[in-house]
Amino acid sequence: MSEEPLFDPSLKKRSKKKQVAFSENPLGADADPTVPAPSLDDTTSSGDVIDLGPKTVHEQMKQNEAGIGDAASGLGEAKEEDDFKAMFGDLKKKKKKKEIPLELGEEGSGTSTPITNASTTAPGITEDLDFFDLKKKKKSTKKKAAFDLEAFEKELQESKSKDANAEDDEDIPDGEHLNDIDEAELGDDVFDRSEVPAGVDQGTEPWLGSDRDYTYQELLTRFYASLHASNPSLLTSTGKRYTIAPPSIHREGNKKSIFANISDICKRMHRQPEHVIQYLFAELGTTGSVDGSGRLVIKGRFQQKQIENVLRRYIVEYVTCKTCKSPDTLLTKENRIFFMACESCGSRRSVNAVKTGFQAQVGKRSRNRTG
């Protein structure tokens, strides 16, 4: 009995780290779907966790966006994480070792402890999930989150070292604290790793295991959580439509128009300027040239609106994917035929070559004959 009070505080403090091991253990299906796992499920089925999922996703995204500025230093960390991942096989084994004594201790202390455990640590779990989500989302640009984690981990470490005497017997397999620190950082990654394949990258919904009918809300949040988890770029790009800077048309002299930002627009559309220019000339029924600074000089008087119309038609015909409407396409030429391959849906289709068609003779014939 004297063990329990000693044990509980340590558990609480360590819970942030260790608890995950618990919650993850049944998921990992490590031949331990015993008593603690269902109890955990029951306690966390209050719905807090479910609600937390999407929230964290959004927060994450915000953090991500905020963290992009710090990406430079974040990259370094990402590398570190990668290194850790490389070593993660060993770590997992270590982790396992660690887990086992803890569980043993619990079992030794009595069957009632798991329940108290679960109830006290439910918030802890959710917090941990937060971090996991954050880490899962974008490894590279996550600076802030990583920082939080580190600080968190350090606190944990400190608290751990205080409690070290109490848990010395358990920690013996781990060895020194230096090792521990490493592991604390790595441990999360390990979990991260092991959790991703376990559930649909959020196997955390407590109702997953149960037989009851899932509510629409639960399924919806789960869907969005996993969707955003698997492709975080969706969140940032959902609201944005395919936009292109309007063409800037100036008049040069009386009979020529200058299309100044054609190179920008071509870059934006991922098309060769030659192709775009060819199309423009064919559609407008004129000729022209590219001047020294990359601007297009078009013969004839054209207004911005007119060029815009032509560009719009070009985008419809040569840029947007006919299957999925995505502008993420590549235009390649094979055997004199242009093929458009969609980057997002993978469809591939041939597109008509740009054809000039009939050109009526305009202007003086004599000039045409000589020139």
Partner 1 sequence: MSVQNLNTFDPFADAADPLAADEPGRQSYIHIRIQQRNGRKTLTTLQGLPKEYDSKKILKAFKKEFACNGTLVDDEEMGQVIQLQGDQRAKISTFLTENGIPRASIKLHGF
Does residue 300 interact with partner 1 by CB under 8 A? yes
For residue 284, the minimal CB distance to partner 1 (Å) is 6
Cα 275 to its chain centre, rounded Å, is 34
String of contacts with partner 1 for each residue 248-277, x by CB under 8 A: -------x----------------------
The amino acid occupying position 221 is: T
Of 5, 253, 292, 363, the one binding partner 1 (CB under 8 A) is 363
With binding defined as CB under 8 A, does residue 362 bind partner 1?
yes
User: Of 153, 110, 128, 157, which is closest to residue 44 (Cα–Cα)?
Assistant: 128
Instruction: State the virtual CA torsion across 115, 36, 99, 139 in degrees, nearest 10.
Output: -100
CB of 246 vs partner 1, minimal distance in Å:
15
Shortest Cβ distance from residue 359 to partner 1 (Å)?
A: 7
Closest to 280 (Cα-Cα) out of 326, 324, 311:
311
> Near partner 1 by CB under 8 A, which window of 14-22, 119-127, 136-144, 280-288?
280-288
Is 179 an interacting residue with respect to partner 1 (CB under 8 A)? no
x/- track of binding to partner 1 for residues 19-48 (CB under 8 A)? ------------------------------
CA 117/CA 121 separation, integer angstroms:
6
Is residue 360 near partner 1 by the rule CB under 8 A? yes
- Candidates 44, 286, 320, 329: give the one binding partner 1 (CB under 8 A): 286
By the rule CB under 8 A, 318 interacts with partner 1: no
Provide the β-strand partners of residue 339: 332, 350
Residue 149 touches partner 1, criterion: CB under 8 A: no
Stretch in the footprint of partner 1 (CB under 8 A) among 132-140, 200-208, 303-311, 331-339: 303-311
CB of 365 to partner 1, least distance (A): 13
Closest alpha carbon to 250 in 308, 303, 310: 303
Tell me the C-alpha distance between 258 and 261, whole Å.
Answer: 9
Span from 142-150, 173-181, 199-207, 352-360 in contact with partner 1 (CB under 8 A): 352-360
DSSP letter string, 10-50? HHHHHHHHHHHHHHHHHHHT-S--SSHHHHHHHHHTTTHHH
Q: How many residues bind partner 1 (CB under 8 A)?
A: 19
Of 157 and 304, nearer to partner 1 (C-beta) is 304
What's the angle, vertex CA 214, arms to CA 208 and CA 218, rounded to 5?
A: 80
Which phi and psi angles does 356 have, rounded to 5°?
A: -75, -40
DSSP state letter for 176: S
CB proximity list for 131: less than 8 A, separation 6 or greater: 145, 148, 149, 152, 188
**Residue 292 within binding range of partner 1, rule CB under 8 A:** no
Smallest distance, Å, CB 198 to partner 1?
Answer: 53
Q: Which of 62, 162, 251, 301 binds partner 1 (CB under 8 A)?
A: 301
Beta carbons within 8 Å of 121's beta carbon, 6+ residues apart: 11, 12, 15, 19, 22
Q: Which residues bind partner 1 (CB under 8 A)?
A: 255, 282-286, 300-302, 306-307, 309-310, 357-360, 362-363
